[in-house]
Each structure stands twice: as structure tokens, then as C-alpha cells.
């Protein structure tokens, strides 16, 4: 007679009593797609789209992409076209902006020069100054005191090659003005004295055509004490 614990004995369902059981399978972790599109600029976005389209073309794992790769490719082309249009418009806008600023700088220089002319001709006559559509500085009879900083310095092309015209707002009480120039780029030690002017305008001569030049001006009082230097201005010598 076979015993209950006899090796090889069939037990109920026909499974060998001493057979090992199948281990329970653990759950598989699911991976997720990470694109990070919100951090990409348009050029980076197009590059990423091209990488993805190339990788998925003929990829047996993804036989029926949704949207289709043709649709993605069309949108890549459209985006590239808009990027090129934006770059072109930006370049044009920068050119127009530079032209606007140059025109404004020239106009500012002309008005500064005109203001100096009116001040010289009017010889302190308030009515004459105001008749020219210009305002009169307040406290014109007050003591002069230390020289203030020269303001509204403008450089413009001179009438001849190698010359630049310089204009600035007159400083009340100034006896003269010192003008310094510097090659580009200016440094604390690159400034050299160029000339002295008695009015608020001057023409700098003997310059190298095509060179980018910097200039600054300061007022000198009756006591020969100079004021602070103006903010520098720059211009390419004609």
C-alpha cells in the first residue's frame, strides 16, 4: 500500500505533492515620456522635433504615429519659416532703431549749436532768448560756484575728412572748455588733451578717417578750476 508521504504520489489534482510552486511575479514599473518642451526656445524646439522625427521614422515600435510624422515635418518647416521671418524683422528693426537714434543725435547737436548761437547773440537778453522759442535757465544772476558737469555732449561728422564737430550744453560761468579724446576702447589712461574751446562747440581736426573716436569735455571756471568730465560720446571719423 502506498503511504501518504510516498515520493512521487499523485495528490488529488494530479500534481506531484513535492513539486515546487511557481513564484508570484512582481509588478513592472511603467516608464513615462519626458519632453521638457516648455523650457525650449523655438530653435531648440525645432532641433528636438527633428531628433524625434528621425528616431521614429521606420521605427517598428511605433508603426502608426499619431500625429503622423508628415504632419510633424510640415509644422517643423512652418516653424523654421517663422523663425527666419522673426530674425529678419528683428535685424531690420535694429537697423531702423540705429537710424532713428543717429537722426535724433544729429538733431540734438544742431539744436545745441543753435542754442549756443542764440545765447551769444542775445547777450543775456531774456526777451530775445524767449523769442527764439527757447527757455531761460533759472537763477542766472546767482553766484557761479564750482563748475558743473558738461551735459548733452554730441559728436557729428565734420565738413572734411578727418574732422569731427563737437557740441554740448553751455555751463554757466565757464571761462573755457577742455576737450580730451581717446581711441576705442577708452580706458582711464587712454585719454589725451586735444584742444581748448571758448564756446560750447568745436571742431576736432587731424583725426584718422574710419577710426572710432571717443571724446569728453569739462568746463573751466574763472578761477581756472575745472568741473567734472562729461559722459563720453563716440563717433566714427569720416
* Region class of 19: left (phi > 0), else alpha (psi between -120 and 50), else beta: beta
- Domains held by the chain: number: 2
- The span from the CA of 83 to the CA of 94, in Å, is 16
Whether residue 148 sits in one domain with residue 112: no
Percent of the chain with pLDDT over 70: 86
Rank 28-32, 100-104, 178-182 by mean pLDDT and report only the highest: 178-182
Give tens-digit pLDDT for 10-47.
Answer: 544 444 444 445 555 566 788 999 988 988 999 999 99
Please, are residues 161 and 211 in contact by the beta-carbon 8 Å criterion? no
Whether residue 85 sits in one domain with residue 121: yes
pTM for the predicted model, two decimal places: 0.44
Please, are residues 172 and 139 in contact by the beta-carbon 8 Å criterion? no
Q: How confident is the model at residue 174 (pLDDT cuts 50, 70, 90)?
A: very high
Whether residue 184 sits in one domain with residue 125: no
Cα–Cα distances (Å) from 131 to 1, 119, 122, 128, 171, in that order, read 138, 12, 10, 5, 21
Cα–Cα distances (Å) from 62 to 32, 66, 67, 98, 171, in that order, read 16, 9, 12, 52, 78
Among 136, 161, 188, the domain-final residue is: 136
Does residue 132 lie in a domain region?
yes
Give tens-digit pLDDT for 121-134.
Answer: 988 888 888 898 88
Please, are residues 195 and 179 in contact by the beta-carbon 8 Å criterion? yes
Whether residue 157 sits in one domain with residue 101: no
Domain range for 218 is 141-236
Read off the DSSP letter of residue 226: B
Among 136, 168, 196, the domain-final residue is: 136
* Average pLDDT across the chain, whole number: 86
Does residue 1 lie in a domain region?
no
Whether residue 154 sits in one domain with residue 107: no
Nearest residue to 51 (alpha-carbon basis) of 29, 36, 64, 30: 36
Whether residue 195 sits in one domain with residue 115: no
Amino acid at each position: 500500500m502506498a503511504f501518504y508521504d510516498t515520493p512521487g504520489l499523485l495528490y488529488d489534482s494530479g500534481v506531484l505533492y513535492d513539486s515546487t510552486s511557481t513564484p508570484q511575479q512582481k509588478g513592472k514599473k511603467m516608464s513615462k515620456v519626458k519632453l521638457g518642451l516648455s523650457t525650449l526656445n523655438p530653435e531648440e524646439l525645432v532641433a528636438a522635433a527633428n531628433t524625434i522625427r528621425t528616431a521614429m521614422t521606420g521605427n517598428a515600435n511605433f508603426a502608426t504615429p499619431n500625429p503622423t510624422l508628415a504632419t510633424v515635418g510640415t509644422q517643423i518647416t512652418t516653424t523654421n519659416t517663422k523663425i527666419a521671418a522673426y530674425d529678419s524683422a528683428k535685424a531690420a528693426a535694429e537697423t531702423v532703431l540705429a537710424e532713428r537714434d543717429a537722426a535724433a543725435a544729429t538733431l540734438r547737436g544742431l539744436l545745441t549749436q543753435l542754442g549756443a548761437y542764440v545765447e551769444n547773440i542775445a547777450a543775456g537778453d531774456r526777451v530775445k532768448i524767449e523769442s527764439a522759442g527757447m527757455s531761460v535757465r533759472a537763477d542766472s544772476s546767482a553766484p557761479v560756484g564750482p563748475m558743473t558737469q558738461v551735459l548733452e555732449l554730441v559728436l557729428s561728422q565734420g565738413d572734411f575728412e578727418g574732422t569731427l564737430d563737437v557740441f554740448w550744453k553751455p555751463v554757466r560761468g565757464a571761462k573755457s572748455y577742455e576737450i580730451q579724446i581717446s581711441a576705442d576702447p577708452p580706458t582711464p589712461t587712454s585719454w589725451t588733451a586735444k584742444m581748448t574751446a571758448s564756446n560750447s562747440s568745436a571742431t576736432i581736426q587731424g583725426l584718422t578717417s574710419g577710426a572710432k573716436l571717443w571724446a569728453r569735455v569739462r568746463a573751466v571756471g574763472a578761477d581756472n578750476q575745472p568741473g567734472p568730465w562729461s559722459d563720453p560720446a563716440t563717433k566714427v571719423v569720416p
